[in-house]
Amino acid sequence: MTTPPLWTVAAMAEAMGAARGGPLPAAVTGLSIDSRTVSAGEAFFAITGDRLDGHDFVGQALANGAALAVVSAARRDAAPTDAPLLVVDDVLAALRDLAVAARARSPARIVAVTGSVGKTSTKEALRIALGADGETHASLASFNNHWGVPLSLARLPETAEYAVFEIGMNHAGEITPLVKLVRPHVAIVTTVEAVHLENFSSVAGIADAKAEIFLGLEPGGAAVINRDNPYWQQLKQRAEEAGVARVVTFGEHAEADSRLVRHALQDDGSTAEASILGTLVDYRIGAPGRHFVLNSLPVLTAATLLGADLALAALALAAQRPAAGRGTRLTLAMGTGEALLIDESYNANPTSMRAALAVLGQAPVGPRGRRIAVLGDMLELGPTAEALHRGLAEAVIEHRIDLVFCAGPLMRHLWEALPAERHGGVAASAEELEAQVLAAVHPGDAVMVKGSLGSRMGPIVKSLVRRYAAAAARDDLPVRG
């Protein structure tokens, strides 16, 4: 099947104010900023990042099938002489200009998601739920920053009926310019928690930063906020100050507009009954964990607000799976039996760590199996970091985790707070802990690996998979955007 064009080159050039060079095609089928993964027919944007300059890889991108490259006038000479080029003053600014043009031409109903926890899983659930009703575009992976949001928006097909964008932040003021690009009809704040505290004086400051998402709402748009969160009133006030026409709440609270009535958790998913803006709906969620149940509420609320079919959206959530590194499950074949590996290595904060420990506590184990948590430091927590790590001991005990392995100077505080019978191993880094984990896992065990991205817990997952690669099989394929 031929991939339909995403942009004509004429439209791209006009939107970006670009000069043309070389033998240009009539259209491109997609946009890329990675020369290694660019597909045939796509436009390659030579963005200058913190470590690498895309201009150094223009030749490689074209050799790999890129239809053209977008380059800056100052680095025009980095490209081959006869290369098909669109030449601009600044490549990232040009990508933002193209994103503006994509938004202007799109008839799609758009939802934007932010929050301290659950952004990506909520975005993926929205993609599934809205996709049951019509063509839906969603940002890939966690493309939620100053280049990821413009890239995702510029990729919005003109034919899409719905679009979903994730918007993240580490500092105040980062969400505002991104949401003003996206201009959503619905804006969701999943929750406000103690994350990125290195950059904020209080959690209330984080709430204000998350509330920036309301500043870009389209006239008549709706804000969707968590009624169970202590900062819901602050978020509601900020939405009203931004002129938001409708503020809708979700949660277990009796006064929530979309309320969880009851739910049952299983090791492979959950069932739920909820009142979504007054309509009762029963449904199943394919991803295990109470946090996925709660995140289904803003998903179904947004689907209703956007005009999608609620019944279809709810039925579609049975297909939801954890995103890569956020609960992906793998079976490790160990000769005399199997072990379950839960990969939560993408990132961590106190809230997501407790949710992951709860999921591990529900995981099935063999006759002599143990539930094992392999945990790395949670970063960017500021002066509260030691106490927040130590406080995880309560969740470890509550969810009947048998052994805990701790990597990093901060996670050592958890190690010291745990009773001796829960001690699995401890080391200064994930790299040093790896051998202890590999030696400890036995058939029948359920093992969960989690930590902030900077704590580098991913290699432990890869080592476990590599050791048992001959017969390792994925239980749940990672979700792609």
pLDDT tens-digit profile of 424-445? 999 999 999 999 999 999 999 9
Q: Quick one: average pLDDT of 124-147?
A: 93
Whether the CB-CB separation of 434 and 459 falls below 8 Å is answered with yes
Q: What whole-number percentage of the chain has pLDDT above 70?
A: 97
For 342-386, the pLDDT digits (tens) are: 999 998 999 999 999 999 999 999 999 999 999 999 998 988 999
pLDDT band at 471 (very low <50, low <70, confident <90, very high): very low
**With pLDDT > 90 as the criterion, what percentage of the chain qualifies?**
85
**Is 115 annotated in some ligand binding site?**
yes
236 is in an annotated binding site: no
Choose between 139 and 164: higher pLDDT.
164
The whole-model pTM stands at 0.87
Residue 337 has pLDDT above 80, yes or no: yes
Antiparallel, parallel or unpaired: β 27-28 and 446-450: unpaired
Amino acid, single-letter form, for residue 7: W
Is 70 exceeded by the pLDDT of residue 215? Answer: yes
Spell out the domains of the chain, with CATH numbers in brackets.
7-90 (3.40.1390.10), 106-319 (3.40.1190.10), 328-474 (3.90.190.20)
The rounded mean pLDDT for the chain is: 93
Please name every residue paired with 343 in a beta bridge, in sequence order, or none if there are none.
Answer: 328, 449
| Residue 115 CB contacts under 8 Å (≥ 6 apart), including other chains | 122, 188, 189, 190, 191, 192, 210, 226
**What is the per-residue pLDDT across 247-258, written as a single tens digit (0 to 9) for each?**
999 999 999 999
pLDDT single digits (tens) 232-271 = 999 999 999 999 989 999 999 999 999 999 999 988 899 9
Is 447 annotated as ligand-binding? Answer: no
Please answer whether residues 361 and 348 qualify as being in contact, where contact means their C-beta atoms are separated by less than 8 angstroms: no
Q: Is 119 annotated as a binding residue?
A: yes
What region does 222 belong to: left with phi over 0, alpha with psi -120 to 50, or beta? beta
Q: Nearest CA to 326 among 304, 343, 308, 348? A: 343
